[in-house]
Homo-oligomer: A and B are copies of this chain.
Amino acid sequence: MTQRGTLGVAVVGAGRMGADHVRRIDRVISGARVAAVADVDAERAKAVADGVDGCAAYTDPAAAIAAPGVDAVLVASPGPAHEAALMAALRRGLPVLCEKPLTPDAASALRVLRAEERLGRRLVQVGFMRRYDAEYLRLKALLDGGGLGRPLMLHHRHRNASSPPWFTGEMLLGDSAVHEMDVTRWLLGQEITAVTVMRPRPSGNAPEGVDDPQFAVFETDGGALADVEVYVNCRFGYQVQAEAVCENGTARIGDAHGMLVAAGGRWGGSIAPGFVERFEEAYDRQVRAWVDAALRGGATGPSCWDGYAAAAVCEAALRARAEGRRVEVGLVERPALYR
């Protein structure tokens, strides 16, 4: 480590998420600094790097990763570029925080997983930041405590005010519901074994040709069911809710509110406009956990196995949606490193 225990980070990708992580490491998280930024767009890389003291700009991710003072890598480039950046980081034995997805498909996720497995220690943390959200953490603690008995079902809701113009019907599963695939696995400590996707008549708010909303049901190897409603053009705000139905009780998160207003014949609170407002502190907490682990040379949080499993479930979900039938999920045997 350089400079009194400060972690030097190379940030790969200087788009919206990348620039936000640069700001977070520079201004919010103590114990880390941005040593290098890489983006295929040289100007964008330079603009971001110029705002940070002692930060160099690169167009080649591998060069940024190999730059002096780099102790760890944060991958925030587009999904298809993840595998190369992850492999470069692993070759140098550097801890990596990789934005979800680990890689865009199960086969490539498995290659990254095998590379890490050969190193014999975990270096990769996948950016499933809901695991760092205070409410999900409370739900996880409750389920692990066992006070309500065994979990039988999970009901998820995932609603966005609107989707960007390039958002397709496939992305409702691969980009949105992928979070529920991960938290289902994490909350239950079980793998998803089959997926069914059902589609009501699309909302009038959905762009032409996009089947929004969708409704997916996951079955797990522990005999639990998890359903998820994904609706990305609901207009009324950003809402992420989850209810765990256990043998002796239920627990629900996502109704959180800070201020109740009574006016004009109505009472109630406001709904977050987007995921940034809703999960801002989870992002901070995620990067802080990663920095702490990286300063100790290790890894924490969602692993390559979690990234791979999410990719495999996504593939099954996309097939289930396309073929209108239940599709089973096949996973390789879980390596010892991830048990």
Interface residues of A (CB under 8 A from B): 4-5, 26-31, 53, 134-135, 138-139, 142, 147-150, 152-153, 155, 196, 198-201, 203-205, 213, 215, 217, 219, 222-225, 227, 229, 231, 234-237, 239, 245, 247-253, 255-271, 273, 281
B265 in contact with A260 (CB, 8 Å) = no
A152 in contact with B203 (CB, 8 Å) = yes
Q: How long is the Cα–Cα vector from A222 to B201 in the complex, in angstroms?
A: 8
Cβ distance A287 to chain B, nearest Cβ, rounded Å? 11
Partner of A152, one of B5, B200, B268: B200
A229 in contact with B249 (CB, 8 Å) = no
A268 in contact with B267 (CB, 8 Å) = yes
A248 in contact with B234 (CB, 8 Å) = yes
Q: How long is the Cα–Cα vector from A250 to B28 in the complex, in angstroms?
A: 35
A265 in contact with B236 (CB, 8 Å) = yes
Q: List 27 A-B contacts (CB under 8 A).
A: A28-B30, A30-B30, A139-B259, A148-B263, A150-B204, A152-B200, A152-B213, A155-B155, A155-B229, A198-B217, A198-B219, A200-B219, A203-B247, A205-B248, A229-B245, A235-B247, A235-B249, A236-B250, A236-B266, A250-B263, A251-B262, A252-B261, A253-B258, A253-B259, A253-B260, A260-B268, A265-B271
Cβ distance A169 to chain B, nearest Cβ, rounded Å? 15
Partner of A203, one of B150, B200, B261: B150
Q: How long is the Cα–Cα vector from A149 to B268 in the complex, in angstroms?
A: 18
Cβ distance A323 to chain B, nearest Cβ, rounded Å? 13
B258 in contact with A266 (CB, 8 Å) = no
Q: How long is the Cα–Cα vector from A67 to B107 in the complex, in angstroms?
A: 60
> A28-B30, A153-B200 known; A263 and B247 CB under 8 Å?
no
Partner of A270, one of B203, B249, B266, B270: B266
